Structure 1
Amino acid sequence: MKQTLTSARRPLEALIHVIGWGIMFGFPFFFVERENGNINWMAYVRHSAVPLSFMIVFYVNYFLLVPRYLFQSQNKRYITYNILLLCAIGLMLHLWRSLTFDPSFVPKHRSGVPPGWLFFVRDMLSLVFTIGLSAAIRMSARWTQAEAARKEAERSRSEAELKNLRNQLNPHFLLNTLNNIYALIAFDTDKAQQAVQELSKLLRYVLYDNQQTYVPLGKETDFIRNYIELMRIRLSANVQMTTQIDIQPDSQTLIAPLIFISLIENAFKHGISPTERSFIHIHLAENDTEVICEISNSNHPKNITDKSGSGIGLEQVSRRLEILYPGQYTWQKGISEDGKEYKSRLSIRVKDRY
């Protein structure tokens, strides 16, 4: 990716250089006398020595001095070699002007010519500016490449971490579901068989359909419905279960797969008691800008001997949200003051649709 971006940028950089130097070498035309519409090319060649010296200083710094010394933190050598370069270029400019000086180059309408040292100082300051410009451009390009490499490395790391989280989530989901089916076998084998059939449908989605970073919300909602129906099989009469899904079946809003399932799993894990009245309320909705998952359930904390689930689901949800939706979600969750109800409200701002 980095090589592709660099290769694509090179023609543009070359074009900018060509245009820039074309403008620089066009300036001498403004200082050349024209007689009868003809350009004095000897005068143009004499004046072109200045932009040519700028070009030499620029590219000696751009390709040699800046990478070899400034990038290697050898500042003293960099300054020393530039001083020597300035002296050499300044001497050559002085000799060139002396050798090519012709009184006829001086426009007749001008009453006097400024002293030669003034031109020398002007050219030296311009050369110093050119050195600084060359260093700034080269260092800016290096910073841009380093920033692109850093972002690419961070993106690769995030993708690897996300893939690892997803690989952890699939066994976690399967373990929780198998625990539920195992509990069903003890008191209702028919329901347990039905649960195995429902589980096969869910596993097809978990193992094959959710390998992309994002999936259509309608497809994810179908998976959630199937999962809730599977969990509903083992509920007893003292559990009040309500679901409200305000999402179109063909919704093409892109959402991270299995992002809500851990919240629902958590409700079934902590919201049901075998002896006390319990409730679980699930509400999924979508509007123009966000997808909302609201869950409230009775709070029945598991004791330390309960092994139903590894307890990593909510941690994964939090980490995946930070990777996939940084700054684009709000998640409010917590237990009521009396400790009898747990509420979770996750809102994700989404824009992409098929």
Structure 2
Amino acid sequence: MMVSIALFVGSVLFLALLVYCRMLYLKLKETKNANTELSSKNHELNARVHSSELSSIRYKLNPHLFKNALNSIQSHAYQTYYSMDKLSGVLDYILYESDQPLVSLQEEMDFAANFIEINRLKLSPLFDLRIRNTINLKDEKISSLKILPLITVDLIENAFKHTDFQKSESFISIHLEIVNNEFALEVSNRISESKPLKKERSGLGIKNLEERLQIAYPGAYELTLKNETPIFHARLKLKLNG
């Protein structure tokens, strides 16, 4: 009898343990499912927030990209307009003024300035280009003085053609001086170590300049060329007639 009672109590306790374990299992499963659902909702919410943030950033970013692109186009457009304006001045001078035996000194100075600006466009903003004008005359006097057209182009072009633009210490120096009735142009530059591409009729500029000077200013000019490697110096000085 005692054994039967013990077995019955044991069976009840075992069943109670099974029921408790079952309840505990169901509770843990429910908790896990709830956590999974909560995690899924968090991911969904984060995705929505992230998407909303990206959309907001995109709407803010696109106008900035457009504005930056517009500024870039505007910059290039201005540069193109600027260069075309300078080129137009150079072409007008070559086509309509250079056929004359003599032109006003002011016209030649304007041509030289435009020619320099056109060449400046291909240089880095950091390149050492030194431009200096020393003028000791009134504007009306400068306009009254006459000079051979295109007298400045060869020395200036020679400097841009033969300068070593790859070296940080490279430079071009152009000094135009007018004192009384005397005109002087000094051009210096660091010579490139590599030879420029050989072109048809290349190397004739300085030779033609000397021939023109001998004809137009016999005994009234000085042309000095010095190659002090790696620096090349050129100086032209002439007496002008008013």
1:340 aligns with 2:209: no
AA partner of residue 291 (structure 1): F
Runs of 4+ in 1 over 3 A off after TM superposition: 188-194, 247-250, 274-277, 304-309
| C-alpha contact 2:162 2:192 (8 A) present in aligned 1 | yes
In the TM superposition, what is the alpha-carbon distance from 1:301 to its structure 2 partner?
4.9
| C-alpha contact 1:293 1:346 (8 A) present in aligned 2 | yes
In 2, Cα distance between equivalents of 1:263 and 1:255: 16
1:229 aligns with 2:117: yes
1:270 aligns with 2:194: no
In 2, Cα distance between equivalents of 1:275 and 1:265: 19
Q: Map 1:241-256 onto structure 2 (within 5 A).
A: 241-247=129-135, 249-250=139-140, 251=142, 252-256=144-148
- TM-score (normalised: structure 1): 0.42
1:211 aligns with 2:99: yes
In 2, Cα distance between equivalents of 1:277 and 1:308: 31
In 1, Cα distance between equivalents of 2:200 and 2:161: 8
Gaps of 5+ in 1: 1-187
* Selected match of 2:185 from 268, 285, 293: 293
In 2, Cα distance between equivalents of 1:308 and 1:225: 27
| CA 1:253–1:327: 2 relative to 1, 3 Å | same
Question: Cα deviation per residue 1:188-244 (whole Å; 9 max; x = unaligned)?
Answer: 965456423321221011100121111111111011111111111111144201111
Structure with higher strand content: 2
Matched length: 163
1:200 aligns with 2:94: no
SS in structure 2 of the partner of residue 218 of structure 1:
helix
Q: Map 1:50-89 onto structure 2 (within 5 A).
A: none
Query: What is residue 217 of structure 2 aligned with on the other side?
Result: 325
| CA 1:343–1:288: 2 relative to 1, 3 Å | same
Percent identity for Structure 1 against Structure 2: 33
Give the root-mean-square deviation of aligned CA atoms. 2.4
In 1, Cα distance between equivalents of 2:139 and 2:107: 7
Question: Cα deviation per residue 1:46-73 (whole Å; 9 max; x = unaligned)?
Answer: xxxxxxxxxxxxxxxxxxxxxxxxxxxx
* Selected match of 1:349 from 222, 239, 242: 239
In the TM superposition, what is the alpha-carbon distance from 1:324 to its structure 2 partner?
0.6
| C-alpha contact 1:331 1:346 (8 A) present in aligned 2 | yes
| C-alpha contact 2:217 2:238 (8 A) present in aligned 1 | yes
| CA 1:196–1:259: 2 relative to 1, 3 Å | same
In 1, Cα distance between equivalents of 2:175 and 2:104: 18
| Higher RCO, 1 vs 2 (CA within 8 Å, ≥6 residues apart) | 2
| C-alpha contact 2:134 2:177 (8 A) present in aligned 1 | yes
* Selected match of 1:259 from 151, 158, 162: 151
- TM-score (normalised: structure 2): 0.61
| CA 1:296–1:309: 2 relative to 1, 3 Å | farther
SS in structure 1 of the partner of residue 238 of structure 2:
strand
| C-alpha contact 2:161 2:196 (8 A) present in aligned 1 | no
Gaps of 5+ in 2: 1-74
Q: Map 1:167-186 onto structure 2 (within 5 A).
A: none
In 1, Cα distance between equivalents of 2:121 and 2:150: 21
SS in structure 2 of the partner of residue 224 of structure 1:
helix
Q: Map 1:23-172 onto structure 2 (within 5 A).
A: none
In 1, Cα distance between equivalents of 2:207 and 2:80: 30
